[in-house]
A and B are shown apart, each in its own frame.
Chain A
Amino acid sequence: MVPLWMFLTAAAGLFAIGAYGVLSRRNAVAILMSVELMLNAVNINLVAFWRFQTPMDMSGQAFAAFVFVVAAAEAAVGLAIIISVYRGRRSVTVDDVDLLRW
């Protein structure tokens, strides 16, 4: 069996890459993709800790399944918002969407 720390390191790397994408990209669709990467890193951690710590308990897999649900809802609503913004402004660059900026 591959040890726990290797899964955790891979998940941490995935999370860090996703965080970089969220913080640095200008395109809103690319930001949403990076958010999906971060959610996947969380899921790897949940399932890895479930497998190594409490394999007879269903909590880890159940939480990962709920993360799936929330990620699907987030992607649908987020992309709908992006399409709506594109319709009004002809742009998906987050710098252009500054209506609420003071």
Chain B
Amino acid sequence: MTFGDLTYEAFAFGFFTILTLGGALGVVANRNLVRGAVWLIVSLFGVAGYFVLLSAPFLAAVQVLVYIGAIGILFTFAVMLTRSMTNLNERYNQQWWIAAVTSIALFGMLVLLVILPVFGEQETAVSDVVATTADLGVALVSGDAYVLPFEVASLLLTAAMIGAIVIAREEE
């Protein structure tokens, strides 16, 4: 990667990186959890942009619909229902510096052991022919691919829905 030939893709990548990591920092550092939920949506939108750059348009659409549309609203509801934003005095527990050291060490380990081995790999290895959304749809329901995990996932969603209703129900 030479930075001489900056394409629009590189600009888009930088933009989405700022959205993703900046939003993530906003989630972690914000005292007000309503703002934290908005920052979470910003971060998830950046991840959707990554999926577009990686030529996975279906996953980008699902990211916007499921994560931003459903999970973002769910978090906003939870913040409002529990009045979590009134607890403004202390954000972090006493082990926050151990947590900081741990996560920095984790990041360093990931860079050292996973990313350095693939650093500088030639981009020519990437093929322009990519499986499409139609291929994904076929793979999800074909018998020799992912139809069993697909059915298990739908069962899991049903169980989670019923479980959430049972757990959150008011006891009479």
Q: Given the complex, which residues of A lie within 8 Å of B77, measured CB to CB?
A: 79
Choose among A21, A71, A80 the residue that contacts B163 (Cβ–Cβ < 8 A): A80
Choose among B55, B91, B98, B156 the residue that contacts A51 (Cβ–Cβ < 8 A): B55
Q: Given the complex, which residues of B lie within 8 Å of A9, measured CB to CB?
A: 111, 115
Q: Give the bracket for the number of chain A residues in contact with chain B.
A: 35 or more
Main secondary structure of the interface of A (DSSP, over half): helix
Docked complex Cα distance between A51 and B58 (Å): 14
In the complex, the chain B residue whose C-beta lies closest to that of A64 is B59
**In the complex, are the beta carbons of B40 and A24 less than 8 A apart?**
no
B33 to chain A, nearest CB (A): 6
A26 to chain B, nearest CB (A): 5
Report A11-38 CB contacts with B as 1/0, cut-off 8 Å: 0111111111101111111101110110
**In the complex, are the beta carbons of B54 and A51 less than 8 A apart?**
yes
Known: A10-B20, A47-B51. A19 touches B27 (CB 8 A): no
**In the complex, are the beta carbons of B81 and A47 less than 8 A apart?**
no
Q: Given the complex, which residues of B lie within 8 Å of A15, measured CB to CB?
A: 106-107, 110
Docked complex Cα distance between A73 and B100 (Å): 28
Chain B interface residues toward A at CB < 8 A? 1, 9-10, 13, 17, 20-21, 24-25, 27-28, 33, 36-37, 40, 43-44, 47, 50-51, 53-56, 58-59, 62-63, 66-67, 70-71, 74-75, 77-79, 81-82, 84, 87, 90-93, 95-96, 98-100, 102-104, 106-107, 110-111, 114-115, 118-121, 123, 125-127, 129-131, 135-136, 139-140, 145-146, 149, 153, 156-157, 159-161, 163-165, 167-168, 170
Q: Can you list 11 contacts pairing A with B, beta carbon distance less than 8 Å? A: A18-B28, A21-B27, A23-B95, A24-B100, A29-B79, A47-B50, A55-B55, A58-B139, A62-B140, A66-B153, A76-B161
